[in-house]
């Protein structure tokens, strides 16, 4: 979601004549789009901004800004805490960033020779804005870009007790369906083959704004409408919540061939006691039953998840219940997070905070289980032909190409320009657990 928001801000700046540079030392404007989900993410952005301050030496006109979730939750504290931050823009105001950058730039250039060191001028905008969900809708596409994210809603009303998102992103608000379809049509016309629909709880899309129709939730109606866009080849979404993941959505995986067989399905814990304390609204058994239903509807479906270890009060038995459920489901992969207390969230004040050492041990132990399954899932594909959408040069080795399988696994292979943006089969030769390696079957 942050990547998508950053793309919108880049596009706004580029359309006013600014140019993107991959090198911050060359830049006149450096904006950090921030995450607050865990303290580590906040500390990284603060550390990075601290380092960037050195670039200001001799260039007082340079602009530095924080955008996004941490900007939203900390506001002008970020200006006060640093000698060089000029701009702080929250999550409902991304569309104002280009105006603010222009404003700051013009003022700095005008006053270049007069600004005294102790004279600070800054802009902080963390207000809420009705309709802001409709403003994340334009894209800067690279040459032959085959995949794109499409933001379909903002905010979250779930109030999981560990999570800061409802306070940083505000209440759930959905975009209009026809606007989303128009955006996808525009992307496809520019060469995009695959879109991923984005929302905090994507399956709850439109529940306040639109009616159910033919027993179909607004989200499934949206999936159908996007699926019908001619020329679109692949459709994905992230992330859903087990609450509201009903049969209409399960069976969409059996009915809609462009809907790729992968669900990122946050579990958080396998202990009913902890799930209750997290305010998740489902039990371990209910979660497991949903994974079984998905597998019955689409046997090749890949399942990945998010898990938090060391939530307050998590005992050895609770952790073991999580481990057992992870083994029972057999995920294709998982993100494991050590619980991080977040400001103003109910869980941060709970008794029984788990020591860092115990979180570390559980994290390490669970990672070994997850990696064992990830490796086995990858190995099962060795010797098979897998359909891949080639996205471009591999990030780790630009001499090779990289794409994704229908189940969202990274596939690395050798090829040429002609492969980029195309869909074709790759014969899988080996797997590391994280990526698959192979040779394009049809050259």
Which residues lie near ligand SAM (CB under 6 A)? Answer: 37-38, 160, 162-163, 165, 200-201, 239, 241, 266, 268, 306, 308, 337, 339-340, 342
Residue number with CB closer to ligand SAM (100 or 282): 282
Tell me whether residue 124 or residue 347 sits nearer to ligand SAM (CB atom).
347
Query: Shortest distance, CB of residue 256 to ligand SAM, whole angstroms?
Result: 22
CA atoms lying within 13 Å on the CB side of residue 58: 2
In sign, the C-alpha dihedral spanning 164, 168, 169, 172 is positive
Closer residue to ligand SAM (CB): 12 or 314: 314
Query: Nearer to ligand SAM by C-beta: 10 or 239?
Result: 239
- Least separation in angstroms between residue 145's CB and ligand SAM is 25
CB hemisphere CA count around 316 (13 angstroms): 0
Least gap, CB of 80 to ligand SAM (angstroms): 25
The residue among 234 and 342 lying less far from ligand SAM, judged by its C-beta, is: 342
Residue 247 CB neighbours (<10 A): 11
What is the nearest approach in angstroms of ligand SAM to the Cβ of residue 2? Answer: 9
Of 242, 209, 234, 67, nearest in space to 147 by CA:
234
- Identity of the residue, 163 or 386, whose beta carbon is nearer to ligand SAM in the bound complex: 163
Q: Which of 347, 343, 344, 346 is nearest to 308 (CA)?
A: 347
Distance CA 414, CA 393 (A): 9
Distance CA 205, CA 244 (A): 10
**Which of 190, 150, 145 shows the shortest CA–CA distance to 174?**
150
56 Cβ neighbours under 8 A, 6+ residues apart: 62, 64, 84
Q: How far is the CB of 278 from ligand SAM (least distance, A)?
A: 9
Of residues 145 and 154, the one with the C-beta less far from ligand SAM: 154
> Least distance (Å) from ligand SAM to the CB of residue 317?
21
Q: How many Å from the N-terminal Cα to the C-terminal Cα in the chain?
A: 35
Residue among 310 and 378 whose Cβ is closer to ligand SAM: 310
In the complex, minimum distance from the CB of residue 309 to ligand SAM, in angstroms, rounded to a whole number: 9
What b/e sequence results for 222-234 when a residue is b if at least 16 CB atoms lie within 10 Å of its CB, and e otherwise? bbeebbebeebbb
What is the closest distance, in whole angstroms, from the C-beta atom of residue 349 to ligand SAM in the complex? 13
| CA torsion, ordered 198, 201, 203, 205, to nearest 10 deg | -80
- Bin 433: left if φ > 0, else alpha if -120 < ψ < 50, else beta: left
165 or 354: CB nearest ligand SAM? 165
Least distance (Å) from ligand SAM to the CB of residue 354? 11
């Amino acid at each position: 979601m942050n990547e998508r928001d950053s793309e919108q801000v880049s596009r706004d700046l580029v359309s006013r004549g600014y140019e993107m540079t991959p090198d911050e030392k060359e830049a006149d404007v450096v904006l950090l789009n921030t995450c607050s989900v865990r303290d580590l993410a906040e500390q990284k952005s603060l550390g990075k901004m601290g380092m960037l301050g050195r670039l200001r030496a001799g260039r007082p006109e340079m602009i530095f800004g924080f955008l996004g979730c941490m900007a939203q939750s900390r506001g002008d504290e970020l200006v006060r805490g640093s000698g060089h931050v000029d701009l702080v823009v929250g999550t409902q105001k991304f569309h104002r960033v280009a105006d603010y950058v222009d404003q700051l730039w013009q003022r700095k250039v005008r006053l270049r020779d007069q600004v005294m060191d102790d004279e600070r001028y800054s802009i902080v905008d963390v207000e809420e804005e009705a309709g802001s969900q409709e403003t994340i809708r334009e894209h800067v596409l690279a040459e032959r870009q085959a995949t794109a994210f499409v933001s379909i809603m903002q905010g979250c009303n779930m109030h999981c007790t560990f999570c800061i998102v409802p306070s940083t992103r505000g209440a759930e608000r959905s975009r209009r369906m026809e606007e989303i379809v128009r955006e996808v049509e525009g992307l496809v016309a520019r060469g995009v083959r695959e879109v991923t629909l984005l929302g905090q709880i994507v399956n709850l899309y439109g529940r306040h704004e639109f009616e159910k129709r033919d027993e179909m939730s607004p989200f499934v109606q949206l999936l159908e409408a996007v699926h019908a866009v001619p020329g679109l080849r692949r459709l994905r979404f992230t992330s859903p919540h087990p609450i509201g993941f009903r049969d209409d959505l399960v069976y969409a995986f059996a009915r809609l061939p462009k809907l790729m067989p992968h669900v990122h399905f946050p579990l958080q814990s396998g202990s009913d006691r902890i799930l209750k304390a997290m305010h998740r609204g489902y039990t371990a058994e209910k979660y497991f039953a949903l994974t079984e239903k998905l597998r019955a509807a689409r046997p090749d479906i890949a399942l990945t998840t998010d898990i938090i270890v060391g939530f307050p009060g998590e005992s050895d038995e609770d952790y073991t219940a999580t481990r057992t459920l992870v083994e029972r489901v057999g995920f294709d992969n998982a993100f494991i997070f050590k619980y991080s207390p977040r400001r103003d969230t109910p869980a941060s004040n709970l008794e029984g905070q788990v020591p860092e050492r115990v979180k570390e041990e559980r994290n390490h132990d669970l990672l070994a289980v997850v990696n064992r399954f990830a490796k086995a899932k990858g190995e099962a594909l060795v010797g098979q032909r897998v359909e891949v959408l080639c996205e471009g040069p591999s990030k780790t080795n630009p001499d090779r190409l990289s794409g994704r399988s229908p189940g969202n696994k990274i596939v690395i292979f050798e090829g040429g320009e002609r492969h980029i943006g195309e869909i074709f089969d790759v014969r899988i030769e080996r797997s590391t657990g994280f990526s698959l390696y192979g040779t394009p079957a049809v050259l």
